[in-house]
Amino acid sequence: MSSSSLEGVLGHLMFHKALIDESDRHQKLDRYLALAQTYEQGELVAPRDPVDKALQMVFDLVLSNNYDPWDIDLISFTDLYLRKMQQSEVNFIVAGKLVFMAWSILKMQSEEVLAANDEKQQLFCSDWDFDAIEDMFAADDVPCFAADVPEQIDLCEAVRHQSQRPVSLVELLDAFEEARADAEVAEARAKIREQMTRSDQKYDPRNHSEDLEKDVEMVWTRIMKCGNGPIVIDDIFCGGKEDRVTVFISLLFLARNGKIALWQDDLPYGQIFMEIKIPWDIGTLEDARAAAEAKQAPVM
Amino acid sequence: MDEPLRAIESVLFASSRPLRMAEIESATQLSPDIIRRAIVRLKKQYDDVGSSVEVVKIGVRYSMQLRKQYSNYGMPFAEVELPKDALKTAAFIAYNQPVLQSELAKSLGSEVYEHIKILRSANLITAKRSAHTFLLTTSKHFAEYFGIASSKKEDIKKWMDEQTKKQ
Amino acid sequence: MDEPLRAIESVLFASSRPLRMAEIESATQLSPDIIRRAIVRLKKQYDDVGSSVEVVKIGVRYSMQLRKQYSNYGMPFAEVELPKDALKTAAFIAYNQPVLQSELAKSLGSEVYEHIKILRSANLITAKRSAHTFLLTTSKHFAEYFGIASSKKEDIKKWMDEQTKKQ
């Protein structure tokens, strides 16, 4: 990967950033820039976010194949991208959306360059500025070609005869092999679709959210019983595998809502701890109540 | 220079399929009468020099093609007259016949409708109405076309199995 | 009957692309020397009758194609893949090559990016990276596709000038 291709990509992103005013697009482009800059800083850590991961793959391909960011050959790019995607564990839906997103971002240039030429504005000036962008906005009166071009230069294809022949045996058999393979794929797809329809029927999102609410409530009650300070999550489990899964998912939910903190000191198999984050007095802790009652009770 | 003759030669040379009079008319802007007479002269010219190319009338269509004794030379450079995808569909029908058109579309995708149209016009399959769809089988011409000794469906299937094993 | 000449005529007639000597050799089982001499005679034969078809050498390949002044007649039946706009861009590149992609876009508008993609995938132009853009030239295939005898850029320009004058 050459540094000039990285510069090209960064410059390209900056160029688009300079052109837009919607805040939503701004955020997107900032995200792309941040990702692209990790290449410059050499901090290549595989992102956890599936979208970032897929994005990183795009940049990887663009940079390692020296694509011109102004002119991505989408046919070869998509082909490479899909091949790479199959090798990595990338969410297919995200990746599919991303191919589309990358396409629309990178294809914008034609309209925008046109519009920019009409307006003749000095669009931006930054460290990322480079020749190609300057060229794009060069004044119209600068002659582009020294060459003189006759008005009606016209090319027309050579016309040749194309004989036709019947299909040969081998061709028929090859076709049959391919048809059989296609039908097998279609059959497998139909089966999966059927299975998904069946599981969709079982799945009722309302039941699911009601279940989750109940689970979280139950786990919260268990947490409350454990009192203040760090708690080993083993203390919250009481039952078999299913209970552990229910508890763990509820803990993730509570952590996401900011009610508890979850951490693990020794990766990857160490003990997981948690701690209640909300002010202590909100909780109705049975142990605390019990302690208070114990205080009030006459000393035997 | 015989302009009508050259215009017609150009049109017939460029086309890979035989052309109807109306097509030649619209491409050359000549009258049918002039076209007919020019074609006779064109044919004679190719015959007289003993060319491997001949000008022929096939049914109501006109064509420039290789004479039978030279057609083998041209084979390696000729293009297959059926699109590859349509051929795939033909093979599938041959192996699984009789096949319902609707079932075929479920197995191979909706593009089979286009293929069926091509295969029917090439006379390679026959379609019989069956409820809301068609029941597809190979035609007699299918066996002739591929040089299969029998046109019975069991024989075609057997033959395909044998050939696949041979490959 | 001049068998070698007829065999070569068959092969050139059947093929929609110019053929290398080795291809003609393998299809006709004739020696290069015999082929070369027969092609000269074949060419003369077509020229002598004033046919709209000509036998030409394009670079190292041989082809039978319509003479330029007749290609208009044949065009509607020929299988040509390029949109007219892309052809214009191709003509511009061919005439001014080597051309920077960014300059081309400035001269002809941003739709050239689409044309360049089409022309590259048809293997008609080559693009070499040059700073932040590409330097575009015609490929060897370009001359074959348009039936130009040489693939040198000066010869292509000269040929284009001649064609423009003829119009």
Query: Using one digit for the tens of pLDDT, what is the confidence trace for B21-42?
Result: 999 999 999 999 999 999 999 9
Number of Cβ within 10 Å of residue A192's Cβ equals 10
Q: Does the pTM of the predicted model rise above 0.95?
A: no
CB atoms B73 and C7 under 8 Å: yes
Confidence of residue C167 (pLDDT cuts 50, 70, 90): low
Predicted complex ipTM exceeds 0.95: no
Q: How far is CA C51 from the centre of its chain?
A: 20
A171 contacts in chain B (CB < 8 Å): 80, 84, 87
- C28: tokens are 């006709």
Reference A256, options A274, A238, A235; nearest CA is A274
Average pLDDT on C141-152 reads 86
Rounded to whole angstroms, the Cα distance separating A275 from A264 reads 12
- A291: tokens are 């302690």
Whether residue C81 is predicted with pLDDT greater than 50 in this model: the reply is yes
Cα torsion A107, A109, A114, A118: sign: positive
CB atoms A176 and B65 under 8 Å: no
Q: In this complex, which of C63, C106, C131 lies closest to A160 when CB atoms are compared?
A: C63
Whether residue B11 is predicted with pLDDT greater than 90 in this model: the reply is yes
Give partners of A (≥3 CB pairs < 8 A): B, C
Structural contact between residues B114 and A198, judged by C-beta atoms closer than 8 angstroms: no
CB atoms A172 and B87 under 8 Å: yes
Provide CB contacts within 8 A for B41, sequence distance 6+.
B2, B5
- Tens of pLDDT, residue by residue over C105-146, are 888 888 888 889 889 888 899 988 887 788 999 998 898 888
Q: Lowest mean pLDDT of A35-49, A219-233, B113-127, name the range.
A: A35-49
Which chain B residues have any C-beta within 8 angstroms of a chain C C-beta? Answer: 1-2, 6-7, 9-11, 13-16, 19, 23, 27-28, 45, 49-53, 66, 70-71, 73-79
CB atoms A132 and C107 under 8 Å: no
- Tens of pLDDT, residue by residue over A228-253, are 778 888 888 887 888 888 888 888 88
CB atoms C10 and B50 under 8 Å: no
Reference A156, options B164, B116, B76, C75; nearest CA is C75
Interhelix angle C84-96/C112-121, nearest 10 degrees: 80
- Tens of pLDDT, residue by residue over A152-202, are 666 777 788 887 776 666 666 676 677 677 777 877 887 888 887 777 665
Name the minimum distance, in Å, from the CA of C89 to any CA of chain B: 25
Q: In this complex, which of B81, B88, B164 lies closest to A165 when CB atoms are compared?
A: B81
Mean of all residue pLDDT scores within chain B: 88
A107, burial (CB in 10 Å: exposed 0-12, middle 13-18, buried 19+): middle
CB atoms A161 and B13 under 8 Å: yes
Confirm or reject contact between B58 and chain A (CB < 8 A).
no
Whether residue A292 is predicted with pLDDT greater than 60 in this model: the reply is no
- A140: tokens are 């119209």
- Give the 3-state secondary structure of B99-154: EEHHHHHHHHCCCHHHHHHHHHHCCCEEEEEECCEEEEEECHHHHHHHCCCCCCHH
Q: In this complex, which of C1, C45, C70 lies closest to B10 when CB atoms are compared?
A: C70
Confidence of residue A70 (pLDDT cuts 50, 70, 90): low
Helix (H) or strand (E) holding A252: helix A241-256
Q: How many helices (H) and strands (E) does chain A have?
A: 11, 4
Residue A278 is predicted with a pLDDT of 59
